[in-house]
Amino acid sequence: MELIGDGARPERVQAAINNVRLQVNPDNILKVRKVFLDEAARIREFLRSLQSDRSYVGLCGGDPLSIDAARAFNRRIDHELRQARDYGEQLEAAGRSLEKIARNYGYTEGQIRASFNQPAQEQRL
């Protein structure tokens, strides 16, 4: 199976693009790329802020059920956070793929770099 860039599978990158239900074209590719990369960074930063405390749910009481419940909740939260991390990685890979496509459309490295620093509403649709 072929991998893209940082190891993302092509079908997962395509799924990330399909999930947002948009049409990418030469006029909006840099804006779409920025939206994907901004959202990936936002997810990454949120997850980083949670790294300091790996126990999300504490004990409700001293009974054995509270111990099992806290473990179950924490496992579920860890699972959800892994899914969020995976989604962020898919968005990052999709953004990087759009960067390659933008080059094929004729955008220069300078234009691609500059587009990342522009607020999204200032870019053409």
Residues in the chain, total: 125
**Which structural domain range is residue 50 located in?**
10-122
Query: Domain for residue 30, yes or no?
Result: yes
* pLDDT at res. 60: 82
> Cα(first)–Cα(last) distance of the chain, in Å?
34
Query: Domain for residue 3, yes or no?
Result: no
Q: How many domains does the chain have?
A: 1
Query: Domain for residue 2, yes or no?
Result: no
* pLDDT at res. 62: 83
Q: How far apart are CA 36 and CA 33, in angstroms?
A: 5
3-state DSSP assignment of residue 4: strand
Residue ranges in the chain modelled with pLDDT below 70: 1-10, 13, 16-21, 51-54, 118-125
Query: Domain for residue 59, yes or no?
Result: yes
Task: Identify the helix (H) or strand (E) that includes residue 80.
Answer: helix 64-104
Query: Domain for residue 108, yes or no?
Result: yes
Query: Domain for residue 96, yes or no?
Result: yes
Q: How far apart are CA 120 and CA 39, in angstroms?
A: 12
Query: Domain for residue 4, yes or no?
Result: no
